[in-house]
Structure 1
C-alpha cells in the first residue's frame, strides 16, 4: 500500500508530502485514491481540480458535496467516503457549491462561471430550478424567513437574489450611485448577526463591500482596492464576539481580518500568518468561530478567531489546496488536486 498520510510514524512517502496526525491535532478519516492507494477502500476523486466544497445532512446522514473543473459535482458520505448516487451534472468548472434547507429539505446550489446556476433536492436527487448565465460566486442565506441565493457575476457589479425553490429572481442589490462604478463580484459570503442577514462581497478591483440582505441596502466599502501581489483572491465571514468580520486571502499569502461594521482592518492582535503563496481557499464556522485558510503552499491552517490562535499545527498536503470547508461536527473537508480528504480533530487538540 502506498500511503501518503504521515501519522508521525513510518512508511509511505516522506513526511513533507502529507503531514497529518497526532502531532498536528488532526487525524485522517478517509481520502480518495489519489492520496491513499492500494487499500481497496478509497473511492476515486474528481478528474480535475476541486474548486468548491460544502456539507449538509441528508436523511440523517452527514454528506460532503464537491465541485471541480471536470464539470461534475460529487456527493460523499462524510463518515465513510462512499460516493452517494450519480454525479450532479454541470456545464463547466464548478466554482461554487453551497447548501441550504428549503421547506425542510436539504438543497444544493451548483454554479459555474459561464452557463448555469442550479438547485438540487439532495434527498430525492432531482433538480429544482436553474438560472441561465452562470455565476462566478454565489452563497445561500435566509432573508426574512425565505431561503435565497446571492449571485455575483463577472461582468455585473451587483448581487442578484434568486429563489432556489421556484427559480424566481427576487431582485438585485446595487450600490449607492454616488459611489460610482464598483468591480464585478468574484466572491460572496453571508452570515446572520443579531437576527439580520448580512452579505460581504469581494470584487475584481480587490475591494470588499458590505450589504444588508434584510434591508436590501448597500452598506459601504470594507476594504480598499489593491493590486499586484496584494490582490485579494478569497473571502470568508465569521461572527466573533457578536461582530461580523470579513477574512480575506491575498496573492502573496496575507490573511487579513476586517471589522465589517466599522469598515476597518482589525490590527493589534496576533495576525493569521504563515502562508507563502496565494491563499486560494477560506472557510469559516459559525459556532465557536473558526477560520480555515489554505492555498498554493500546500498547507491548511485552522484558526480560533476568538483567541486569535492556530488550532493544532500546519496540515501539509501533496499539492496546492483549492477548496476547504468544515462540517458542523468539526470535520474538515479538503480539496487537493482532484482528490478529497476528510480530517477529524484529535480529542485532545488544543489551540496553540
Structure 2
C-alpha cells in the first residue's frame, strides 16, 4: 500500500518480479486468482488504477489555514526588472508525425511539471526589495567549471509551511503582476493562491474553485490558468480582488495533468495534457469553448506539457504515460513527430533556449533526465543523468549567463545542469527535505529566481 505522508513507489523491475512471482506461485499451488488478474496485462492495469485512485483521492485534509504573513525587515526599495525566462525563436519545425510504441504501464505518479510560463521578452519595471548584495553579472560562466563552485548560495528560504496535513503543493508558476513579481501555487485540496516573493507574504487566502487537486498552473499576466484532476481548466483574472475564475469549456473525461501558456496570432492560449488521451489548445478569451484536440486522440494518457516557439511558430512538447516525448505545432493544431521515448511515464517537461537553439528537457519515472535539441534535423535525446529514483519536476532558465535545467527527484534532491555542456552546475539547491513536485524559475532584478512546491505542502524560494 501507499503512505500518503511518505509514498512508497516501487521500481518497474521490482513490480514485474512481484507479478511474475505471484503468477508462478498461483500456477504451482493451483490457487484461483480474482477475475481479471490472471495475466501480466491485467496486473498492470490494476496497479495503474490503484496508483491513480491513491493520488487522486488522498485522505481528507484537515481544515485549511492560510500562511501567516511574514513581515520582512525594513530596507530601501529601488527600481529593477522582473521577467520569466522564455526561449527565443529558433530553427524550423520538423515535419512528419509518427506513432510511438506503447509498453505496459506499471507505475503511476501525479507530478507537476514546471515550464517557462511567460512569453519571450517579458520585462517590466517594479520596486524590488534588496536581498543583500548587488545583482549578479550576466556574463557567461566558463563551461570548464561546470561542476564546480559557481558563486551562488544554494540555501533556500521557506516561503510557506504546510497549511494542512496531506496537502501537497502540486504546482507553482512565476511571473509579474502590475510590475511586481508574483508566484501562483496549486494544492492538493483544490485551491490556488498568490504570493509576493519579495515581501514573502500571501496575496490573499487560498481560493477553492476546483473539486480535486490542482496539478498545474500557468501565468501570463494579467491571467493565470489552473488545471485539475477534476477534469477542468479555469482562467483567473488576477486584476480582480480577490482573483475571479471562470471554467474554460466543458469538463473533460479525465484529469488534466498539465497546462502551459503561449501566444497564437497575438492572443494568449493554453495547451493542456490530459488523461483523456488528448493534447488540446484553449482560448481563455473564449471561456465557453472547449479546447480543440491537436492532431487526434492518442492511445495513452498525456502526463506533461511545455510550450515555446520554434522558427516563429508556437509549439508544444509533451510527455506521455507510454514514455513518448512528442512535438506539436500549436498554430497548425497538429502532431509533428515523436522525438523519442523513455522507459516509463514522463511527468516533467520544460523548454528553453541556448543561443538560437531551442531545447527541451524531460524527466521520467524511469529515473532518466534528458535534453532534446529541437532545432536539430533529427532531434535526439541526450541523457543528462540516470537516477535510481523518478524525476518529478523540471524547469529551464538562465543562471550566471548559462542556460540551465533544474531537476527535482524522488531522492528529495534539486540539481542544476548546464545544458550547453550537459554537466552538473554547482552543488544544486538545498533546504527542502521532501521531493519537489514542481519548479519554476525566472528573473528578478538581474538575479535568477527559483520557486518550488513540495510533497509535504511547503513552498521554497531561492534568489541566486
**What is the TM-score when the length of structure 2 is the normalising length?**
0.60
Q: Which of 163, 174, 197 lines up with 2:314 in the alignment? A: 197
Which one of 63, 75, 81 corresponds to residue 200 of structure 2?
81
Helix, strand or coil at the partner of 1:285: strand
Q: Does 1:334 align with 2:462?
A: no
Matches of 1:76 and 1:184, distance apart in 2: 32
CA-based RMSD of the aligned residues comes to 2.6
Following superposition, the deviation at residue 183 of structure 1 comes to 2.1
- 1:145-173 deviation line (CA, Å, top 9, x unaligned): 121111222023x3221111321336321
Alignment of 1:162-177 (within 5 A): 162-167=282-287, 168-169=289-290, 171-175=292-296
| Aligned mates of 2:204, 2:311 — CA distance in 1 | 38
Distance in 1, matches of 2:226 and 2:165, equals 16
Task: Output the CA distance in 2 between the equivalents of 1:266 and 1:299.
Answer: 23
- The structure with the largest strand share of the pair is 1
Aligned residues of 2:171 and 2:185 also touching (Cα < 8 A) = yes
Partner Cα separation in structure 1 for residue 272 and residue 184 of structure 2: 19
Question: Does structure 2 retain, via aligned residues, the 8 Å contact 1:30–1:80?
Answer: no
For residues 338 and 285 of structure 1, the distance between their equivalents in structure 2, rounded to whole angstroms, comes to 24
**Correspondence for 2:167:** 48
Structure showing greater Rg = 2
The Cα shift of 1:97 comes to 0.6
Contact kept, 8 Å, 1:120 with 1:129, in 2: the verdict is no
Aligned residues: 301
Farther off after superposition, 245-254 or 79-88: 245-254
- 1:147-158 pair list within 5 angstroms: 147-156=268-277, 158=278
Displacement after TM superposition at 1:30 (Å): 4.2
Tell me by how many angstroms 1:310 deviates: 3.1
d(CA) in 2 for partners of 1:297, 1:170: 36
TM-score, normalising length: structure 1 = 0.77
Return the structure number with greater helix share: 2
SS at structure 1 position matched to 2:434: coil
Does residue 284 in structure 1 map to residue 404 in structure 2?
Answer: no
Q: Which residue of structure 2 aligns with residue 183 of structure 1?
A: 300
Unpaired stretches in structure 1, ≥5 consecutive residues: 1-20, 35-43, 346-352
Structure of higher RCO (CA pairs closer than 8 Å, 6+ residues apart): 2
1:223 equivalent in alignment to 2:340: yes
Which consecutive residues of structure 2, in runs of 5 or more, have no partner in the other structure? 1-148
Q: CA deviation at 1:327?
A: 2.5
Mean alpha-carbon deviation: is it higher for 130-139 or for 71-80? 130-139
* Structure 2 counterpart SS, 1:315: coil
Contact 1:129-1:165 at 8 Å conserved across structures:
no
Shift of residue 276, structure 1, vs aligned partner: 3.5
Q: Does 1:97 find its partner at 2:217?
A: yes
